[in-house]
Amino acid sequence: QVQLVESGGGLVQAGGSLRLSCAASGRTFSSYRMGWFRQAPGKEREFVARISWNGVSTYYSDSVKGRFTISRDNAKNSVYLQMNSLKPEDTAVYYCAAQRVPGAPSSFVREYDYWGQGTQVTVSS
């Protein structure tokens, strides 16, 4: 089992940057693909980005491509989301999630096995 704890959220002005971190427990972190999702009030949870177990492959939603960067450090059992050029529409609770390998890479909430508690990101205009 994997426990995930996000940090780094906060309040930022439009155009600013934040870096989210997700720390994972356990010795098998490198066995999981990792993803970031977000959920705005009144909306469904949506995919933001994912990264392969070894960090070689990444994939982004169209809404964040070119502005956000996902990365991981398996030695530190951590995954990160660097968010630049933030917009008010990026305001949401951000969650990291782990998906077991093997299994096809996925952007669907239901395909992820473990979730963190979330961290709030608020972007003011």
2-50 per-position pLDDT tens digit: 999 999 999 999 999 999 999 999 778 889 999 999 999 999 999 999 9
Please tell me the distance from the alpha carbon of residue 99 to that of residue 53, in angstroms, as a whole number: 9
- pLDDT tens per residue across span 66-116: 999 999 999 999 999 999 999 999 999 999 999 988 778 889 999 999 999
Main-chain dihedrals φ then ψ at residue 27, nearest 5 degrees: -100, 5
Main-chain dihedrals φ then ψ at residue 64, nearest 5 degrees: -120, -5
67 is written with which tokens?
A: 């502005």
Please tell me the distance from the alpha carbon of residue 1 to that of residue 26, in angstroms, as a whole number: 7
The pLDDT of residue 124 is above 90: yes
The pLDDT value given to residue 16: 98
Where in 56-105 does DSSP place strands (E)? Answer: 58-60, 68-73, 78-83, 92-100
The pLDDT value given to residue 103: 75
Secondary structure of 45-62 as H, E, C letters = CEEEEEECCCCCCEEECC
SS3 content of the chain, % helix, strand, coil (to 5): 10, 50, 40
| pLDDT, mean of residues 44-63 | 96
The pLDDT value given to residue 73: 96
